[in-house]
Amino acid sequence: MKSGHPQMHTWSDTEPLRLVEQHVPAGDPERKAIVCYALYLPAVSHRLLRFVQGRPTSAVTCAFLAWLAAYFTAQGKRALLLIWENASWHISPAVHAGLKAYNRQAKHTGECRLILCRLPTKSPWLNPIEPKWVQGKRAVAEPARLLSMTELMHRVCASYKCELTDPIAQAEC
């Protein structure tokens, strides 16, 4: 396997499928990449996904956490323990301060508190969602053509059997 090429496994009756690097035509108005924030609940094998218009930032992370807090407050939950990796947009001072302020308020109002458990640096195998990402990438891969962002979002949600929600817009934290 050459460096930089995805490791993909496929099944075919004739010959193995090969992924071909796709190029976006010049002047294409659609975004070149999309980000997906996710929460995996292993006990019930359930996932909550939110796509992001633009790149992941601290503000988007704050918006995702607010969405999770509202979702689990509505479910009657008092606290949610999140296993969190060390991406810069996860551990930024803005996210830390926003989470601290939210949890202080949530404790008094009875909303669902968010408790982050950070993983050791460079240890993604400890995060239970990582194998699920690999399965999802394999399930939605299209070897012969470039998928539109809308089609990709629909395929990801269909693969994970979850609802497609409106993407999170870039905002201030």
Please write the tens of the pLDDT for every residue from 83-114.
887 778 888 899 999 999 999 999 999 999 99
Determine the pLDDT at residue 2: 41
Q: What is the pLDDT of residue 32?
A: 65
Could you give all domains of the chain from N- to C-terminal order, each with its CATH number? Answer: 35-160 (3.30.420.10)
E strands, the chain, are: 35-41, 46-52, 79-84, 113-118
Model pTM above 0.85: no
- Predicted confidence at residue 3, as pLDDT, reads 41
Residue numbers of the chain with a pLDDT score lower than 70: 1-21, 31-32, 124-125, 127-129, 171-173
**β-strands 35-41, 46-52: how paired?**
antiparallel
